Amino acid sequence: MTPLTRHDILLMMPEKTIESIAVRRLDILDEQGNADISLLSPLSAEEIRKMYASLVLARTFDQRALHLQREGRIGTYASILGQEAAQVGSAFALGKSDWVFPSFRETGVYLTMGYPPHQLFQYWGGDERGMVSPQGLNIFPISIPVGTHIPHAVGAAMAAKYRKDPIAVAAYFGDGGTSKGDFHEGFTMAGVFKSPVVFLCQNNQWAISVPRERQTAAKTLAQKAYAYGFEGIQVDGNDIFAVYKACRDAFGKARSGGGPTFIECVTYRMSHHTTADDATRYRQESEVEAWKERDPLLRLKRYMEKQGLWTEQYRQETEEGAKRTVDGAVRTAEALPPPHPEEMILSTYAELTPRQAKEIEDF
């Protein structure tokens, strides 16, 4: 009998229709402050004011952290300037029982969830006690290595599913993270096991000095989800309403057993990658200037003005309140006694390992 060739085998296989993929793009609030009411999630006037106040707090903290770093009072810091809407909008959609796995640029998520701001200053000042999450806040420590926390988030989501715990897990990372092996491994597991996880990519156009077009040839990052068997959606990451709606829907889907979602928030890193970087060496100032008009705070302010939700008194109270909060956090962080060496490892595991116990004895 003549052996079958690969061509013969392919001819014997039944024909399959390849499903066409169209990535949805969600935009609600434009740069002039106009919103598509038919898409706008039901948010009260008080909730919208709270959103704006959270944006202001995040930016105020960010600016103070940059100043403290330049004064030598904290270490290297990663600015969130320009990315506040992607962080605050997504955090607003989280439930109290949901779990969060952040990267190193999620200050706005921490603050919106109610994380003590003085602990964030502690952390960036080199004190690991700053990452001991208070009771009632299900947020993991900052992940400095790019993308390594993505499989951790998927694992937590799989555990929740096995336990029939109706929660969602959020994993935050940047466009650079989509080039890491951890990204593909995590997405594979999430798709196969339909884990209740929402992947949130803040596509800020730059992975340190590597531009978006050198990260991938794909037209969008969101479309990558379809290769792993679940939905990807792209949103305007500077549109807080679009981010909130996309995340609210995705978290609800995860909690109800609908599986994972990948949300690409298209935004821009207005500042340097970190305070150890000089972005002027690899990008044009004209590019930065073009994004300033898309500022998420300016956009929401214009909307609130058109809706009669904005007054000068409200602006002043919001900005002064944020400044008092940040000033108090700095004072608290800097007044704390220095940590004991053993505190570096006390919160690593639920129980000390024999090796850790021995190390503590030796301190």
**HSE-up of residue 299 (Cα within 13 Å, Cβ side):** 26
Does a structural domain hold residue 259? yes
Residue 111: give its domain's CATH number: 3.40.50.970
pLDDT at 328: 98
What does the pLDDT read at residue 348?
A: 83
Neighbours of 291 (CB within 10 A): 16
Residue with tokens 């919001």: 318
**Which pLDDT score is estimated for 15?**
56
The set of catalytic residues is: 269, 273, 282
* DSSP H or E stretch at residue 76: none
Number of domains in the chain: 1
What is the per-residue pLDDT for 269?
Answer: 97
Query: Does residue 155 lie in a domain region?
Result: yes
pTM over 0.75: yes
> Is position 111 within any domain?
yes
Q: For 322-350, how does the pLDDT look when each residue is reduced to its tens digit (9 = 90+)?
A: 999 999 999 999 999 998 888 888 888 88
- Residue 99 located in a structural domain: yes
- The pLDDT tens digits of the residues spanning 146-169 come to 999 999 999 999 999 999 999 999
In a domain, 35, yes or no: no
166: Cα separation from own chain's centroid: 21
pLDDT string in tens for the chain (363-residue length): 565 555 554 445 555 555 667 899 999 999 999 999 888 878 999 999 999 999 999 999 999 999 999 999 999 999 999 999 999 999 999 999 999 999 999 999 999 999 999 999 999 999 999 999 999 999 999 999 999 999 999 999 999 999 999 999 999 999 999 999 999 999 999 999 999 999 999 999 999 999 999 989 999 999 999 999 999 999 999 999 999 999 999 999 999 999 999 999 999 999 999 999 999 999 999 999 999 999 999 999 999 999 999 999 999 999 999 999 999 999 999 999 998 888 888 888 889 999 999 988 887
| Largest Cα span, the chain | 89
Q: Give me the pLDDT at residue 22, please.
A: 84
Q: Residues 6 or more apart from 130 whose CB is under 8 A from it? A: 118, 119, 120, 121, 122, 123, 124, 333
pLDDT value for 10: 45
b/e per residue 313-346 (b: at least 16 CB within 10 A): eeeeebeeebeebbeebbeebeeeeeeeeeeebe
CA angle at 59 for the pair 90 and 277, rounded to the nearest 5°:
100
> pLDDT at position 350, please?
85
d(Cα 43, Cα 49) in Å, to the nearest integer?
Answer: 10
- Is 11 part of any domain? no
Beta bridge partners of 348: none
Q: Is residue 1 in a domain?
A: no
Is residue 355 within 8 A of residue 341, CB to CB? The reply is no
Closest of 280, 234, 275 to residue 63, by C-alpha: 275
Pairing label, strands 99-101, 261-266: unpaired
Residue 9 lies in a domain: no
For residue 59, what are the domain limits? 40-348
